[in-house]
DNA sequence: CAACCGATGACAACCGATTGCCAAACGATT
DNA sequence: AATCGTTTGGCAATCGGTTGTCATCGGTTG
C-alpha cells in the first residue's frame, strides 16, 4: 500500500536499513526476528524503513547463517502420474501456509535418482517428504537419520509416515465383487518395489482366503495407462471375470484395451481401480475405484514434518497417520457373467 | 564406487579438503570450479580428497557468494491442471540435465500470488518461467526487468516467450467442423485474464468471418471440469451444434454434462477441446482436440532461459519460439444434426 | 647475470544474514 | 550517591563458499 519509490536495482539488505536508521545491522536483524530484544521505538523505526525499502530477507544468507533453508523437498516417482497431482497440491498449499518453499523432484521411478536427490537435498532442504519410495528399508532409514523425513505410502519402522489405507479398501472392493457374483478374480500388481502394491496384495489375498474365493496375482505392471493393455490381455487370458488393479492408471489402460478387443465392461469383465485419480470419473465406463484423500495426505505429511522440524512444547508429533479410504462404485463393475 | 568410510555427521566443506591436502581453501575452490587455474597435480590430490570425503558444495553458500542460486522458479496457475504436468515434467527434466533445481509454485490463478512470488523468487532463483501468466503486460515487463524470465503462452514484447500455436489450430478445428456441416458454432472462453483464450478467440473469429460462418463467444468459464456443466448448458441454450472449448478440462466437463442431459455427442452436439491433456483420449466419447507438444514447450522454455543466464558466445538466443500444434480428431465431433 | 614472464597458490575481503558476548545507559533501591 | 539489575544495542565471529590481488617460484630470454 505504501507509495513505493522507484526501487534501486539491487534488493535492500539489513545494512541499508541500518544505515537509514543509524543503528547496527545486528540490531536490524534482531528487530525483525527477535522483536523483544529491541526497544519498541527503534523497532518501529526499523520496521518503517524496512517497509519503505520493500525489504525481504535474503533466504540464502539466512540459510547459511541459521542453518535452516526454509525449503522442503518433495520426492515423487513420476510427476505425470495424476495421483501425485493432488498430493503435490496438498503439500504445496500446506508448505506455503507455513512459509516454506517446496522443492519438487521427479525421481523417475529410480532408486538411484531418489538416493542421490536425498543426498543433495540434505544441504538445501530442512526436510523431505518422500512419496512411494522405491528405496530399501535400510537406505530409507539411513537417509532419515541424516535429514528429517516423512514418507507417504511407505511404512518403515522409525520413519514417520502417512499411509493411505488402501489395503483395507481392497477388502471392500473384494466384497463388492463377491456380492456381484464374481468368484474368479485377479489382482493386477504394480511395481515389485512398491510397498503399496505388496500390502494391497497381502490384504487382498488374506481376505480372499477368508471368504473362500480365488484371487490370483498377475503382473507386475508399470503404473501407466500403457501397461493396461498387457494387464487386460493377461486378465482375459487367465479367465477371471473381475480384476482389481494396483492403480487407476492400469485400470484405465485396461478399459481401453478391453474395448479394443470387444470385451464389454462390466458385462464380460469388471474392473476396479485404486486412488480415484483425475479421469476415473469420466473414463468409459466410469471406474469403480478406491478413493483416497490424497490432497489431505499431502497436508498431513507436511504437518508431521513441520512438527518434527519445530518441536513445540505443545503436541507430541504423531509418527504415523492412517488415512481412511472407501470404495467408490461406478460403472466398471457389474454382475458376473453367467457361466456357460 | 569408492569405499566410503562411515561419514562424519557433518557434510564436508572445502576447508576439510584444504586441510587434508595442505592447501588453502581458495585453492580447493579453484580446483573445483576453475580447474585451469591450478596445477594438475594439486588438482588431482584435491579431487581425490573431495571424492574421499564425499564432498558436495553447499548450495546456499555458493549462492550467497557467487550471486547465482542454481535454481529456477516455475510458476503455474493451477498445479492440478493436467496441462501443466507435462509442462512441469519438461522443465524439470531439462533443468535437472543442466544442473539446476526447479522451484515449483502454484499461483492459484491469482495475479497477486503471482506477483509476490516473483518478488520473492527474485532473490532465491536465477530466473523464472511463467506459464499462462495472469499479470498485466506492465507488471510482467517490470518483473522481467528484475529477473531473467521466459513466459509460456504469454506474448509480451520484450519478454522471451514460448508460445504454443493454438490460435492457428483453432482454424483447423473450425474447418474440421465446417467440413462436417456445422454452421452455428460456439467458443467457450477461458478466464478473461488468459491471453491464450483471447488469442484463440481472435483467431477463431477472424477465420469464421473469412469463411462466412457464425461463431459466438460464450463464457468466460474457469478452466476446470466443473465449469463444463455451465458451459454445456450455455452451449445448448445458444442453439449451436458444435463448440470449441478453451481447453480440454472444460470440454471434458461439457461431455459429462451433456451426457447427463441426454444430449448425444457427437450426434446432437460436437465438442472440440484444446491441449490434448491426460484423459482426452479415454473420456467418453474420446475428445477431438488440438494437440500441443507441451513437454517440449517446457524444455524449450528452459533452454531459452538458460541461454539468457549463460550468454555463450556461440548462439544468439531466440526471444520467441512458436510450437506447432495440430488437430487430433477423435469421437467427440461428427456430422451436424439435420436441421428440422 | 639481470630482467622478465606465466603459472601457481595464499591472503583476505566479501556475499547477507545470525548470534554470543559485552558494554553503555537507565531506572530503581538502599 | 553508590550499587545493582535490566534493557538495549554494538562488535565481531561465523556459516561455506567465491574472487580480486599479490607474492613467489621456476624457467626463459637478451
Q: Residue A2: what pLDDT?
A: 37
C-alpha torsion A309→A311→A315→A321, nearest 10: 30
In a domain, A136, yes or no: yes
Domain boundary among B57, B81, B108: B57
A31 lies in a domain? yes
The pLDDT score that the predictor gives to residue B174 is: 96
More confident residue, B339 or A224: A224
Looking at residue B316, its pLDDT comes to: 62
pLDDT value, residue B339: 65
Q: Which residues touch strand C (CB under 7 A)?
A: A 10, 13-15, 25-26, 29-30, 32-33, 55, 57-58, 61-62, 64-66; B 22-27, 30, 36-43, 61, 64-65
Phi-psi region at B54: left, alpha or beta (left = phi > 0; alpha = psi -120 to 50): left
Burial class of residue A134 in the structure, from the number of CB atoms within 10 Å of its CB (0-12 exposed, 13-18 middle, 19+ buried): buried
Would you say B103 and A103 are in contact if contact means Cβ atoms under 8 Å apart? yes
Q: Is the minimum CB–CB distance between B8 and chain A shorter than 8 Å?
A: no
> What does the alpha-carbon distance between residue A179 and residue A95 come to, in Å, rounded to a whole number?
43
In a domain, B340, yes or no: no
- The answer to whether residue A8 neighbours chain B at the CB level (below 8 Å) is no
**CA–CA min distance B253, chain A (Å):** 9
Which residues have CB under 8 Å from A147's CB, separation 6+?
A118, A121, A122, A125, A126, A127, A128
Residue A73: the pLDDT is: 94
A76 forms beta bridges with A106
Give a yes or no: residue B212 inside a domain: yes
- Decide: helix, strand or coil at residue A219: coil
Binding-face residues of A in 145-204 toward B, CB within 8 A: none
Provide the strand spans (E) within B55-207.
71-76, 101-106, 127-131, 149-152, 161-164, 184-188
Residue A119 — pLDDT band, cuts 50, 70, 90? Answer: confident
Predicted pLDDT at B37: 86
Contacts of A119 in chain B (CB under 8 A): 56
Give B37 CA → D28 C1' in Å. 21
Indicate whether A170 and A273 sit together in one domain. yes
User: Residue A77 corresponds to which cell in the numbers above?
Assistant: 516417482
Residues B102 and B182 in one domain: no
> CA A215, CA A177: separation in Å to the nearest integer?
11
Say whether the CB atom of A15 is under 7 angstroms from strand D. Answer: no
Provide the pLDDT for residue B4.
40
Assess whether B49 and B120 both reside in one domain: no
Contact B123 A56 (CB under 8 A): yes
Nearest to A169 by CA among A46, A313, A323: A323
A245 and A309 housed in the same domain: no
Judging by beta carbons within 10 Å of its beta carbon (0-12, 13-18, 19+), is residue A269 exposed, middle or buried? buried
Amino acid A8: pLDDT: 54
Residue A313 neighbours by CB under 8 Å, 6+ apart: none
For the sheet containing A270-275, what is the strand order? A214-218, A184-188, A242-245, A270-275, A288-291, A326-328
A282: nearest CB among B120, B124, B279:
B279
Q: Are residues A214 and A259 in the same domain?
A: yes
pLDDT band at A80; cut points 50, 70, 90: confident
Cα A133 vs. chain centroid, distance in angstroms? Answer: 10
Q: Is A7 a residue whose pLDDT tops 50?
A: no
Nearest to A82 among B82, B106, B122 (CB): B82
* Nucleotides of strand D within 7 Å of the protein's CB atoms: 7-20
Phi, psi torsion values for A328, nearest 5 degrees:
-105, 115
Q: Which nt is closest to the CA of A37, judged by C1'?
A: D8
Single out the residue of A143, A166, A138 nearest to residue A75, CA to CA: A143
Total CB pairs under 8 A between chain A and B: 107
Number of structural domains found in chain B: 3
Q: Pull the grid cell for residue A41.
A: 521505538
Residues of B with Cβ-Cβ distance to A278 under 8 angstroms: 80, 82, 278-279
Supply the pLDDT for residue B9.
64
pLDDT tens-digit readout, A243-252: 999 999 999 9
Question: Given a cut of 80, is residue A1 above it in pLDDT?
Answer: no
B104 with B246, same domain: the answer is no
Claim to verify: residue B184 and residue B288 sit in the same structural domain: yes
DSSP B38: S
Whether residue A278 is found in the same domain as residue A160: no
B139 part of a folded domain? yes
Q: How far apart are CA B87 and CA B106, in angstroms?
A: 13
Looking at chain A, which residue has its C-alpha nearest residue B113? A96
At residue A30, the pLDDT reads: 92
Of B298, B292, B87, B162, nearest to A79 (Cα)? B87
Contacts of A100 in chain B (CB under 8 A): none
On whether both A81 and A109 belong to a single domain, the answer is yes
Q: What is the mean pLDDT of residues A206-215?
A: 93
Contact of A289 with A266, CB cutoff 8 Å = no
pLDDT score, position B5:
41
Give me the residue from A85, A119, A252 closest to B282, CB to CB.
A252
Per-residue pLDDT band for A333 (boundaries 50, 70, 90) equals: very high
Inter-chain residue contact A283 with B279, CB threshold 8 Å: yes
| CATH code of residue B140 | 3.40.50.2300
**pLDDT tens digits, residue range A263-275?**
999 999 999 999 9
Domain membership of residue B27 as a residue range = 14-57
Query: Quick check: A119 contacting B, CB < 8 Å?
Result: yes
A31 closest-nt by C1' vs CA: D9
Identify the CATH number of the domain in which residue B41 sits. 1.10.260
Q: What is the pLDDT of residue B76?
A: 94
* A69 sits within 7 Å of strand D by its CB: no
pLDDT tens-digit profile of A312-326?
655 566 789 999 999
Question: Which residues on chain A are in Cβ contact (under 8 Å) with B120?
Answer: 56
Q: What is the pLDDT of residues A125-171, one digit of tens each?
A: 999 999 999 999 999 999 999 899 999 999 999 999 999 999 889 99
In a domain, B4, yes or no: no
If asked whether residues A112 and A198 sit together in one domain, one would say no
Rounded distance, CA A305 to CA A296, Å?
14
The residues with which B163 forms a beta bridge, in sequence order, are B322
What's residue A318's pLDDT? 76
Q: How far is B152 from chain A (nearest CA, A)?
A: 19
Low-confidence ranges of chain B (pLDDT < 70): 1-9, 312-317, 339-340
Residue B39 CA and nucleotide D30 C1' are separated, in Å, by: 29
Closest Cα in chain B to A143? B9
* Residues B172 and B275 both lie in one domain: yes
Task: Look at residue A99 in the predicted model and tell me its pLDDT.
Answer: 87
Q: Is A260 on the interface with B (CB under 8 A)?
A: no
Nearest to A79 among B64, B88, B283 (CB): B88
> Contact, A308 vs A75, CB < 8 A?
no
Give B71 CA → D21 C1' in Å. 31
Amino acid at each position: 500500500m505504501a507509495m513505493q519509490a522507484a526501487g534501486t536495482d539491487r534488493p535492500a539488505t539489513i545494512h541499508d536499513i541500518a544505515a537509514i536508521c543509524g543503528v547496527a545491522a545486528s540490531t536490524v536483524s534482531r528487530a525483525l526476528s527477535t522483536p523483544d530484544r529491541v526497544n519498541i521505538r527503534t523497532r518501529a523505526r526499523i520496521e518503517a524503513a524496512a517497509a519503505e525499502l520493500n525489504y525481504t530477507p535474503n533466504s540464502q544468507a539466512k540459510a547459511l547463517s541459521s542453518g535452516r533453508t526454509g525449503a522442503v523437498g518433495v520426492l515423487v516417482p513420476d510427476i505425470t502420474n495424476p495421483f501425485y497431482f493432488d498430493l503435490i497440491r496438498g503439500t504445496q498449499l500446506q508448505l506455503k501456509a507455513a512459509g516454506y518453499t517446496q522443492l519438487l523432484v521427479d525421481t523417475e521411478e529410480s532408486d538411484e535418482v531418489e538416493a542421490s536427490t536425498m543426498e543433495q537435498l540434505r544441504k538445501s532442504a530442512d526436510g523431505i517428504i518422500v512419496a512411494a519410495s522405491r528405496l530399501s528399508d535400510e537406505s530409507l532409514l539411513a537417509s532419515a537419520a541424516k535429514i528429517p523425513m516423512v514418507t507417504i505410502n511407505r511404512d518403515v519402522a522409525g520413519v514417520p509416515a502417512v499411509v493411505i489405507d488402501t489395503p483395507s479398501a481392497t477388502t471392500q472392493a473384494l466384497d463388492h465383487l463377491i456380492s456381484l457374483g464374481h468368484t474368479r478374480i485377479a489382482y493386477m500388481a504394480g511395481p515389485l518395489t512398491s510397498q503399496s502394491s505388496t500390502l494391497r496384495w497381502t490384504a487382498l489375498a488374506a481376505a480372499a482366503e477368508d471368504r473362500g474365493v480365488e484371487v490370483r496375482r498377475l503382473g507386475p505392471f508399470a503404473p501407466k495407462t500403457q501397461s493396461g493393455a498387457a494387464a487386460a490381455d493377461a486378465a482375459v487370458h487367465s479367465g477371471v471375470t473381475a480384476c482389481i488393479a494396483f492403480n487407476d492408471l492400469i485400470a484405465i489402460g485396461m478399459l481401453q484395451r478391453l474395448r479394443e478387443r470387444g470385451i464389454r465392461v462390466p458385462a464380460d469383465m469388471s474392473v476396479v481401480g485404486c486412488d480415484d485419480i483425475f479421469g476415473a470419473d469420466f473414463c468409459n465406463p466410469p471406474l469403480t475405484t478406491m478413493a483416497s484423500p490424497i490432497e489431505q495426505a499431502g497436508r498431513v505429511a507436511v504437518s508431521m514434518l513441520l512438527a518434527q522440524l519445530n518441536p513445540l512444547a505443545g503436541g507430541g508429533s504423531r509418527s504415523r497417520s492412517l488415512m481412511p479410504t472407501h470404495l467408490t462404485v461406478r460403472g466398471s463393475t457389474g454382475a458376473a457373467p453367467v457361466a456357460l
